[in-house]
Structure 1
Amino acid sequence: MAPTLLSLGHGYSARALTRLLIPQGWTVHGTTRNRDKAPGLRAAGVIPHVLPADLAGPLSEATHLLISAGPDAEGDPMLRHMRDEITAAAPRLTWVGYLSTTGVYGDHGGDWVDESTPLTPGTRRGKWRAAAEAEWQAIPDLPLHIFRLAGIYGPGRGPFAKVRAGTARRILKPGQVFSRIHVEDIARVLAASIARPSPGAIYNLCDDDPAPPQEVIGHAAHLLGLPLPPAEPFESAEMTPMARSFYAENKRVRNDRIKRDLGVTLAFPDYRSGLADLLRRAEDGEGEA
């Protein structure tokens, strides 16, 4: 029987995984809260389910489960609405993946963290994610794999549009670095985990080069042959509360486990290779970078 994936919250990363699985003969069900997105999912080969929808049928067919939907102050929304059904299905599922965030580690003053680092989230979103991880881990017999994602970029989510438009800024905060991950490397790691399941495993998904954000913007401008965007001190820069909150935490994230345990070789091990790929795709007409 062909493997079947139920993707709860079928977003950017889940779509990248789908592009790997469907050509291999997988059946993929994906949920969305936006009815307007259903035709696009169907065109990509995904069976769409617009929430609130009865997912008993897709869950009964699923061999694999991917959770991308974000939690809120009340916990994980999928568990809130179908915990009993997921608990009942747990023993027959082959693999379950939960997409979390490296924000669960909190601030480490630029030091390195790995999967054994205690969770000390400082932001509201990080606390919600840590609580949601614990909710999923508490389900008996669930073959759960947790993936803690760094900042995601990829086609349609690169810095080039803002640099071209002249709206990009280089925010300067001494010592600040961020870890990143190309969406296609996320898909590669998830596919590798599906092929080599290890229930209970936790993986950091990031590239090899934590870097200051102003360097990334500057390199994007260099690739486009445009002037460096203006530099602004973090303290005086006008930013939304959410944007400012990202700078509240500073850490370097290790990714040794995905290489050692899953045999993953990153296609985009640093932002330079990733940005070059996005620009090439844009120039080849594969989408705006």
Structure 2
Amino acid sequence: MKLMALGLGYSATAALRRLAPKEAIGTTRSAAKAAALAQLADMRHFDGSREAAEALRPALAGVTHVLVSIAPAEGQDGGDRVLPVLGEALAGENSLVSVAYLSTVGVYGDHGGAWVDETSDCRPKSARSVARVKAENEWLAFGERTGVAVSVLRLSGIYGPGRNALVNLADGSARRLIKPGQVFNRIHVEDIAAAVERAFATGASGLFNITDDEPAPPQDVVAYAAELMGVPPPPEQDFETAELSPMARSFYGENKRVANGRSKSVLGLAYAYPNYRAAFARMWAEGSWR
């Protein structure tokens, strides 16, 4: 495997550590981040510009797998940032067999708490989710045009080491916002890494929800984490009157339960962290939450 990880962030880094490919190239926009990840991959600068793409082209030679974890461009001409500048070069690499594109369950929008799967309508409300739908379609079209397997992995709320309710309780930033009927799905970063591994191993194409088995009210997760830590949970706050950033408030404007059956039946994915209780109990016992 020669892997190119475009956008080596939190999730893609976990995937790269799990895959441990023979050869790995990673991209970032940050020089500091590139230095920090230099032992994991041959780090290159890529910001979506044509100049950066030209500099990156020689590294594509012989690439077999591509992992894309770069947010799409928003606005009137929004869509994927990679394909306009690297699509032709990728299509010309006969060695390329599989692409995994990390997307979000935010593309479904609001379904009033109903269950959704990969056949459900996308009703994106935010500009970022509208752009995600466009980017997904562009990558799927790339797969159809080139014959390369393209799996679009729709991720729910990501957590893991350093990013979870235990950390928030420890640093005093945890909140218990109450919005009746509101639920969210979640996904541990190691299950994302496993999903990428299975997508590459199976050569699967299409849409896959990568999410836990149990959508749950967010305040329940905080309360359970506090119970594990043996500390009092933060007081309940009414969502309607709470001070929130526009982005944080927008997340609560979408309510759905996301099914993950296709990831199990097609990818053969066995979730190590199937619900928040199993995940937080394990992280707390292992000390892997920090």
TM-score normalised per structure 2 = 0.92
- 2:90, 2:96 within 8 Å by CA — same for their partners in 1? no
Matching of residue 152 in structure 1 with residue 158 in structure 2 = yes
Of 162, 170, 174 in structure 1, the residue corresponding to residue 176 of structure 2 is 170
Aligned residues: 278
Matching of residue 66 in structure 1 with residue 67 in structure 2 = yes
Report the Cα distance in structure 1 between the residues aligned to 2:59 and 2:242, rounded to whole angstroms. 47
- 1:102, 1:150 within 8 Å by CA — same for their partners in 2? yes
Of 4, 8, 13 in structure 1, the residue corresponding to residue 2 of structure 2 is 4
- Deviation of 1:64 (Å): 0.4
* Farther-moved stretch of structure 1 (170-179 vs 262-271): 262-271
Q: Which runs of 5+ in 1 are unaligned?
A: none
- Give the equivalent residue in structure 2 for 1:49: 44
- In structure 1, the residue corresponding to 2:38 is in which secondary structure? helix
- Deviating beyond 6 angstroms after TM superposition, the runs of 4 or more aligned structure 1 residues are none
Q: CA RMSD in A?
A: 1.5
- Deviation of 1:88 (Å): 2.5
Of 19, 36, 40 in structure 1, the residue corresponding to residue 17 of structure 2 is 19
Aligned ranges 1:78-117 → 2 under 5 Å: 78-89=82-93, 91-117=94-120
* Farther-moved stretch of structure 1 (153-162 vs 242-251): 153-162
- 2:160, 2:289 within 8 Å by CA — same for their partners in 1? no
Of 127, 130, 138 in structure 1, the residue corresponding to residue 130 of structure 2 is 127
Report the Cα distance in structure 2 between the residues aligned to 1:137 and 1:21, rounded to whole angstroms. 23
- Deviation of 1:38 (Å): 1.5
- 1:159, 1:220 within 8 Å by CA — same for their partners in 2? yes
Matching of residue 203 in structure 1 with residue 208 in structure 2 = yes
Report the Cα distance in structure 1 between the residues aligned to 2:22 and 2:157, rounded to whole angstroms. 28
Report the Cα distance in structure 2 between the residues aligned to 1:259 and 1:138, rounded to whole angstroms. 24
Report the Cα distance in structure 2 between the residues aligned to 1:238 and 1:67, rounded to whole angstroms. 34
- 1:177, 1:252 within 8 Å by CA — same for their partners in 2? yes
TM-score normalised per structure 1 = 0.92
Report the Cα distance in structure 2 between the residues aligned to 1:266 and 1:146, rounded to whole angstroms. 18
- In structure 1, the residue corresponding to 2:152 is in which secondary structure? strand
| One-letter amino acid of the counterpart of residue 76, structure 1 | D
- Deviation of 1:228 (Å): 1.6
| One-letter amino acid of the counterpart of residue 82, structure 1 | L
- 1:207, 1:266 within 8 Å by CA — same for their partners in 2? yes
Q: Which runs of 5+ in 2 are unaligned?
A: none
| One-letter amino acid of the counterpart of residue 180, structure 1 | R
- Deviation of 1:287 (Å): 6.3
- Deviation of 1:18 (Å): 1.1
- Deviation of 1:40 (Å): 1.8
- Give the equivalent residue in structure 1 for 2:36: 40
Aligned-residue sequence identity (percent) comes to 45
